[in-house]
């Protein structure tokens, strides 16, 4: 009798365990991200341009430029930091002193964007054009697991040139940073739409 009770107990324990076993792989989990309210302020200091940027970001001089950057004017290197998203929008300003310099700068912008071709699934180019403010340029949208997903340059085509490149200080995995990228891209778009050259 004891053997029968023991056998029933073992079998019921086996069935209960095997019935609840779930060997389905679980999707990767990510930290919940807090998105602050979209509030902006004006950047208007000693630099020859102004724009609007979010209150949850801060701007500082870039004392350690990226080694790939060819910078002619070290005085005008800025980083817009997004600390809660671990991201940085690198901004570099150059004075245009000749057509040769202008051509070099615009070609450099294209080269820096397309160097991400290895990891990118696509790179799209969009024109930036505001004749009233003399703001012209190209906006590069880089899809895929590239280190930088957004790059652009702005110029008045005669004296001034500004280049921007957005990087996140983390492994480039589009599936994990896409919500943050979409959020920050709106701030980059706001910067470009509000951008003005001083004296124009």
Q: Which domains can be identified in the chain, with CATH numbers?
A: 46-63+75-197 (3.40.1000)
Measured CA to CA, the distance from residue 122 to residue 142 in angstroms comes to 6
Give the model's pLDDT for residue 122.
80
pTM, two decimal places:
0.78
Q: Do the beta carbons of residue 105 and residue 99 sit within 8 Å?
A: no
pLDDT values of the chain reduced to their tens digit, one per residue, 200 residues: 665 665 565 656 555 555 555 555 555 555 567 899 999 999 999 999 999 999 999 999 987 765 555 555 556 889 999 999 999 999 999 999 999 999 999 998 888 888 776 667 788 999 999 999 999 999 999 888 777 889 999 999 999 999 999 998 877 666 677 888 899 999 999 999 999 999 87
HSE-up of residue 119 (Cα within 13 Å, Cβ side): 14
Give the model's pLDDT for residue 173.
67
Q: Do the beta carbons of residue 191 and residue 154 sit within 8 Å?
A: no
Measured CA to CA, the distance from residue 177 to residue 168 in angstroms comes to 9
The residue behind tokens 């070099």 is 104
Taking the CA atoms of 54, 142, 182 and 148 in sequence, report the sign of the dihedral they define.
negative
Where do the DSSP E strands lie in the chain?
40-43, 49-54, 58-61, 77-82, 87-95, 120-130, 135-144, 148-155, 160-168, 196-197
Measured CA to CA, the distance from residue 192 to residue 200 in angstroms comes to 16
Query: What Cα–Cα distance (Å) separates residue 16 from each residue in 4, 13, 21, 102?
Result: 18, 5, 9, 74
């Amino acid at each position: 009798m004891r053997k029968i009770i023991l056998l029933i107990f073992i079998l019921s324990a086996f069935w209960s365990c095997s019935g609840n076993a779930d060997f389905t792989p679980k999707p990767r989990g990510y930290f919940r991200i807090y998105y602050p309210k979209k509030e902006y302020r004006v950047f208007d200091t000693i630099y020859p341009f102004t724009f609007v940027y979010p209150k949850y970001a801060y701007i500082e001089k870039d004392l350690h430029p990226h080694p790939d950057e060819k910078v002619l004017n070290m005085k005008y290197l800025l980083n817009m930091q997004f600390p809660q998203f671990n991201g940085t929008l690198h901004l570099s300003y150059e004075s245009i002193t000749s057509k040769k310099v202008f051509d070099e700068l615009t070609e450099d912008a294209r080269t820096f964007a397309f160097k991400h071709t290895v990891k990118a699934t696509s790179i799209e180019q969009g024109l930036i054009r505001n004749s009233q403010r003399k703001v012209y340029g190209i906006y590069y949208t880089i899809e895929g697991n590239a280190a930088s997903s957004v790059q652009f340059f702005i110029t008045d085509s005669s004296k001034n040139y500004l280049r921007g490149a957005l990087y996140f200080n983390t492994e480039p995995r589009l599936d994990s940073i896409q919500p943050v990228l979409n959020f920050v891209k709106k701030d980059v778009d706001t910067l470009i739409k509000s951008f003005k050259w001083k004296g124009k």
